[in-house]
Structures are given as C-alpha cells and as structure tokens.
Amino acid sequence: MRKGSMTAGTEVTPEELRERMVRGLVERGAIVSSAVEAAFRAVPRHRFAPEVPPEEVYGAPEAIFTKRTDDGRAVSSVSAPWLHARMLEAARSAPGMRVLEIGSGGCNAALLAELVGPAGAVTSVDIDPDVTGRARRLLDGTGYRRVRIRTGDGALPVVDAPAGGWDRIIVTTGSADLPEAWFDQLAADGRLVVPLRFRGLSRTLAFAREGKWLRSDTTIVSGFLAMRGESADAPRVVRLADDDVRLTVDERQPCDEPALREAFSTTRHELWTGVRLTGSEGLLPRLDVWLAGVVAPYGRLRANRAAMERGLVGWVLGTGAATVWNDDSLAYLTLRHAPDHTDRFELGVIGHGPDREHLGASLADAVVRWNETARHQGEPVVRAYRRNDPERPTGVVIEKSDARLTIT
C-alpha cells in the first residue's frame, strides 16, 4: 500500500487522510447521513486511483482523470469526493436495494456496495472495455467482488435487469438525454440520479417518479465527462467572434450562424433590470435553469479573457451567460456592480442586431418575473416525459431525442 505524505517528519497514512476527508465533507454539508458517512469511511478511495499519491486522491477538489485518449481527451475519472457524496445523498440508497451504475470507475460502485449491503446488488456498466477491466481489477483487489461489471452502452437496456426494475439508477457520466431504457427499467418507486446537459447547462439532477413522468427534487451544479455511445450528442458551437466569443446551442435549436455573427458585430444595447444579487446568495445557477424553462430559444454565451479585455462582451462569468436570439439578433444576461452598493451586483441584458431592444426587453422582463415569483422558491423543478408519450406537456418544452423536459 502506498503511504501518505510526510508532515513534520511524521508519516500520514491513507487511513488518516481518509478520516480527514470525511470530516471535511461532513463539515461542509456534502455528507449528511450516517450511512453515507460510514460508506466513505469504509471504502479505500486511494486504491481506485493507484497512479496518484493518496494525499491528492483524498484532497482533490475536482475529479482525478484515470484514462485519456491518444489526443489527450479525458474519458474516465474518479469524481471529486464532494460530488460523490452529494450524488449518493441524493440517491438515498438503502440496504437490500438493486442499483445500476452507468460509468464504471470502481470507487462509486464500492460506495454503493457499502450502502446496499450484502442483501443488495450493484451492477456497473461502461461502454469501454479498458474502463470495465480496470474497475473489475480494482474492485476485486479491495474486496468488492460482489459488484457486477458489464461492458456495454449504458443507454441501452440491461439484459439481466431485475424483474421489477432498478431501485436506483445512478449515472456518473454526462448525458445529453434520458434514454427510454432508463424510464423502462426504473422501479415504480425508484430514483434516477443523472448529470444532464440541457440548453447548454450541466446539472446533476435526482429524479423520482411522479405519475407517468419523472420529477426532480435535487439539483447539483457539476460537470462530468460526456457519455459515449447511443445517447452521445455534442452541442453546436456558434462562433460569434472566432474563438473569443461562442454561443453553445443544444437540442438542435434553429440558429442562423452567419446572421448572428453579423448581429454581434453591431453596436450593443444595454438594459439594466434593477434586480440585484449578493455574491453569497448563489442564486445565479437557479436563475439560469429557470430561464431555460421560460424563454426559447435558449443557449449559453461564453467569452474568454481576451474578449473581455477588448470590450467585445459585458461581464460574462466562466460558466457563460443565458442567451436568447431570433433570425437576426441576440441578447444575453450580464452583470455590473450595483451603482450604490459595492457588495451587490445588478443583472442586465446586452442586445445586438436590428431587434436588440425588443429582444433585450423580453429577456429582462423574464429576469424581473423570476425576481418577483421564483427567487425565493428554491431550486426550479425539472420534469421529464417520454418523447413518445402522446400527452404533450405545456409551456416551453425542451425536446430531446428520447425525452421532453419542462422547467417550473
């Protein structure tokens, strides 16, 4: 076993590092249940990333990549401890449950095995035989031989799924859709936890059944490596100013790239909403999701530092800015320091193109409506419907290949 780091002449063991990690996760609220806490204390996390020093495995703020393609693109990883913890808390797994994991790093499967116990069952599926082979070796080496490993496309039905469906389906790779197999093979009282990409956003959502559809009750801001196989679907990237300013468009929403490039080159129009936020509220991620459910089309405008320094864009955060457009104009959300409060920020809209004032006012009105009706209502609720269901949801509908989404 690889030892930990040296501190003031004293060796820190992996067990001590793991205990330190668990205490930190409890203190920050990532771990809230005794069951998840016990699972984290039991699983030797460092054994699932043997290429990395234990102090890095237990202290990493983000994922540790365990496989890359020949061109350097990461395709497999061990998720950050805080994200593992929050997803497991959202899943609410219990002893005796049957759990399907999609994405086989090994570590999360071991944690699930601890949570469901000897009476439960964990099956982990990955499309990459290198990944499943590695997971099998690491699980066997740490005593989790009862976890079943399958090589295959996680978007397709699992042949030996339980007759009543999986009690939990936990996806540990970023998905652009909710495949029909997940609807079909989720138990009547099951829960699905999935990092889902929609409208250029990435959110890990925990769904429970609500009648014929699924309803989210937990939202985690997170990013994952993209899923490969049947449901893989890369977003369209519209370059508004070469690589300096880009618009990410999901769900094949119609978008005239030359017209929007021309629009972006025109004089901008600013409109300030009077809606103010503090840096500590953490409300922008909620607003982004809420707007994705009330305006259409909707994408994310991203800009690099060079674009900011050249004055091409207003204040755009690294996660991007909510953007709407029509045939020849676009408008996006921006921020500025509130004129009379140094600790507050005001939300505004910047528009470009012939219809910039009208389009900007429409987006600004939506922000004001959020402030008046939804700001204090908690996380927006995402509902997922089967695409082939004849009953079509009302309002703004996000059309996926296998599913339809609404946000309220």
Q: Active-site residue numbers?
A: 79
- Cβ neighbours of residue 353 closer than 8 Å, sequence gap 6 or more: 260, 262, 263, 264, 266, 328, 329, 330, 359
- Residue 166 φ then ψ, to 5°: -75, 135
CA distance 92 to 120: 14
Query: d(Cα 216, Cα 403) in Å, to the nearest integer?
Result: 14
Query: What DSSP character marks residue 324?
Result: E
| Distance separating alpha carbons of residues 166 and 54, to the nearest angstrom | 34
Q: CA–CA separation, 14 vs 197, rounded Å? A: 35
DSSP 45: G
74-99 as b/e, with b when 16 or more CB fall inside 10 Å?
Answer: ebbbbbbbbbbbbbbbbbbbeeebbb
Distance of CA 153 to the CA centre of its chain: 20
Distance, in Å, from the CA atom of 360 to the CA atom of 348, rounded to the nearest integer, reads: 9
Q: Which residue do the tokens 């009750």 mark?
A: 217
12 three-state secondary structure: coil
Residue 393 backbone phi and psi in degrees, to 5: -65, 160
Calpha distance 288→386 (Å, rounded): 24
Q: How would you label 344-365 residue by residue, b for 16+ Cβ within 10 Å and e otherwise?
A: ebbbbbbbbbebbeebbebbbe
- Any idea which residue has 């119609």 for tokens? 254
Nearest to 402 by CA among 237, 288, 233: 233
Which residue in this structure is represented by tokens 């025109």?
266
Collapsing DSSP to helix, strand or coil, 111 comes out as helix
Per the structure block, which two tokens stand in for 290?
A: 């809420």
- What residues pair up with 158 in beta bridges, in sequence order? none
